[in-house]
Structure 1
Amino acid sequence: MLDNTFVKGDIKETNTSDANPSNILEESPPPQFVTTRGKANQNNTSEDAILAFLAEMKREHSEQFGVLSAQISKINEQHTKILEQQAQLEASVNFISSQHDQLKQQVDGLETKLDAKIKLENDENRLYINELEDNIEDLQQKIRSKSIEVRNIPFHKGENLTNMVKTIYQVLSLPFDEHDIKDVYRLPSKDIATKPLILEMDSTNAKAVLLGAIKSYNLHNSQEPLNTKTLGLSGNKTPIYASDYLTKKAAKLYYLGRMLKRNHNFKFCWSNSGKIFIKKNEESPAIELKHEKQVLLMIMASQFLRSASH
């Protein structure tokens, strides 16, 4: 009842000149018109909201893309700088490597030159040392050229060596002249009981006479050569040996020479004025032994000839 009254009143106010109320109701159906307009407004609002949302998303994506592009650009710049630095580093390493190779070549060259120089100096020094040793050896041999070494005469405390020499001369039936003997003494030795006796003669002739007499005595008394008993010395009978007073080098060569005689078919080995000589046989020439290497080479040659003959 309220709704009809409201409609009627409204119609009256709106259409005062129209006397037929039914015509007015047919021309304008208000409920349906109001409902249709509200739905259209709702659709328009939803579309605007979606468009606004999409526009906002686009704007945000554009901003993010811009930031990302700036970051990528910055990374690319950093990467370019890194590549440049790497190239510079590689160039530096290559340069240092090249310098190292050049330096190594220079050092190797210097080492080669230094080694050659050291070898040359060593060879020269060795030759010079050998020359000095030979000169010293010659000087020692000259100093000892008048001396005789007598071995196996027992040592006695308080002994009179001059009287001992007189006894030797008497046994050999040689006239003794004190002026022929400049000095007589014993050498230091580990074996105190048999320290060698050194006779320094006044001349090489006096030395040769005494050594010749001893050799002759032993030849004529092969069953009883010169010994401690023939000299009237107490204790066990021991052979007495007399020879040149050799230097240490000559004594070693004399030992090696006797090895050649004993083991490698050399017939003679002797000393003369401090020098050592060997001979293969009566017809072969005498060979002076000067160095140990010389003896070793002769031993090797002898062994080679012996193996070749077999």
Structure 2
Amino acid sequence: MYRSPGKSGSYPNVSKLDDVAAKPCPITARTKRRRSIESPSDTFEDRLHELAQEIKTEIKDMFDQFAREQNKNSNSILTTLKDIQQTNLALQSSITFLSEENIELKNKLNQMEQQSMKDREQIFLLESKFEDSQRTERKSNIEIKNVPLIGKESKNDLQEMLFRLSENLNIKIEKPDIKDIIKINKNKKEKSTVIVEFTNTYAKTEIMKAAKNYNAKNKQNKLCAAHLGLKTDADAPIYISENLTPKASRLYFLARDLKAVKNYKYCWTSYGKVYLRQNDDSPIITLTNEAQIQQLSNK
């Protein structure tokens, strides 16, 4: 005997199954490919495909986000670059302006230097003319230095001193030879200087030549206050020289120092000019300014 089979798990009423299938399903159908229960390998492939699609989507989203960020950064960079460009343009404009201004200032400076050079040349010419004028005015003058005057002497007294000096020098000086005679007192402690202005250079040259010869012959008894007829401080030495301009006096002072340091044999003045000579065979040097003396001292 055969046992009747038990109830199967299938739907008991096939007709009702058709009715159920005919009714609409409330669940939205998926767009994915329908998996087959009977094929496990197809299910793995579908999952792998879905995972790949998700990864692609995520990567695309990441790239899109990255692109948006890059666009944003690029826009920011472009804005910054534009600002920098504007700043550079402003700097370039400023530099151009400063460069043009610098060129203008250089031109003005060159003009000022040229004008300054012309002014210096003009000043030098004027100083030379003034020096020549002063030298011409003093060409007939002599100075008698270190005279022990008491301060009450008149012009007549000074003339008598000059006459007494000319007698001691064995030359003849008369009143018509004297244009003017004055005394200069620097201060009470120093002795005075007598300046004599002759009417001609001949009298001046004669008295200076005679004084030089007298001192050369009488080295133990050179000219002193007694030769002027003075009794007060009669032994005080007196010195006769040209009446130099202030510039020439300064040059003569420096020239005598140079003579001592560099062993020059001669240093003298003539008609207001200062001269140096190394020895009897060397050329005569006419000194015109202090820079010239400095050059000679540096040799």
| TM-score normalized by the length of structure 2 | 0.68
Q: Distance in 2 between matches of 1:182 and 1:91?
A: 87
CA contact (8 A) 2:185 2:191 kept: no
CA contact (8 A) 1:155 1:192 kept: no
Question: Identity over the aligned pairs, expressed in percent?
Answer: 28
Q: Distance in 2 between matches of 1:108 and 1:190?
A: 57
- In structure 2, the residue matched to 1:40 is none
Q: Distance in 2 between matches of 1:200 and 1:231?
A: 17
How many residues matched?
224
Question: Structure 2: which amino acid aligns with 1:264?
Answer: K
Q: Distance in 2 between matches of 1:238 and 1:229?
A: 8
- In structure 2, the residue matched to 1:292 is 290
Q: Distance in 2 between matches of 1:249 and 1:238?
A: 28
**2:271 pairs with one of 270, 273, 283:** 273
- In structure 2, the residue matched to 1:239 is 237
1:132 aligned to 2:149? Answer: no
- In structure 1, the residue matched to 2:141 is 147
CA contact (8 A) 2:224 2:234 kept: no
Q: Distance in 2 between matches of 1:180 and 1:230?
A: 20
| TM-score normalized by the length of structure 1 | 0.66
CA contact (8 A) 2:158 2:181 kept: yes
CA contact (8 A) 2:164 2:227 kept: no
Structure 1 gap segments, 5+ residues each: 1-78, 302-310
Question: Structure 1: which amino acid aligns with 2:225?
Answer: T
Q: Alpha-carbon deviation of 1:231?
A: 3.1
Q: Distance in 1 between matches of 2:93 and 2:268?
A: 67
1:158 aligned to 2:156? Answer: no
Structure 2 gap segments, 5+ residues each: 1-72
- In structure 2, the residue matched to 1:15 is none
Note the alpha carbon deviations across 1:83-115, whole angstroms, 9 max, x for none: 998777555433321210111101221222222
1:227 aligned to 2:224? Answer: yes
CA contact (8 A) 2:140 2:200 kept: yes
Q: Distance in 2 between matches of 1:285 and 1:87?
A: 78
1:167 aligned to 2:164? Answer: yes
- In structure 1, the residue matched to 2:248 is 250
Q: Distance in 2 between matches of 1:266 and 1:193?
A: 30
Distance 1:246 1:264, change over 3 A: same
- The DSSP-based 3-state class of the residue aligned with 2:226 is coil
- In structure 1, the residue matched to 2:117 is 123
Q: Alpha-carbon deviation of 1:162?
A: 1.4
- The DSSP-based 3-state class of the residue aligned with 1:255 is helix
CA contact (8 A) 2:165 2:227 kept: no
1:98 aligned to 2:96? Answer: no
- In structure 1, the residue matched to 2:186 is 189
User: Which has more radius of gyration?
Assistant: 1
- The DSSP-based 3-state class of the residue aligned with 2:264 is coil
CA contact (8 A) 2:162 2:228 kept: no
Name the structure where helix makes up a greater proportion of residues.
Answer: 1
Q: Alpha-carbon deviation of 1:174?
A: 2.1
Q: Distance in 1 between matches of 2:188 and 2:243?
A: 18
Question: Structure 1: which amino acid aligns with 2:212?
Answer: K
Q: Distance in 1 between matches of 2:185 and 2:117?
A: 36
Moved more, 164-173 or 201-210: 164-173
1:199 aligned to 2:196? Answer: yes
- In structure 1, the residue matched to 2:25 is none
Note the alpha carbon deviations across 1:203-239, whole angstroms, 9 max, x for none: 0111101111111211221110100133342126221
Q: Distance in 1 between matches of 2:118 and 2:141?
A: 35
Moved more, 217-226 or 109-118: 109-118
Q: Alpha-carbon deviation of 1:280?
A: 0.9
CA contact (8 A) 1:147 1:200 kept: yes
Note the alpha carbon deviations across 1:142-180, whole angstroms, 9 max, x for none: 110000011011122321211221221122222231011
Q: Alpha-carbon deviation of 1:82?
A: 9.3
- In structure 1, the residue matched to 2:36 is none
Q: Alpha-carbon deviation of 1:281?
A: 0.8
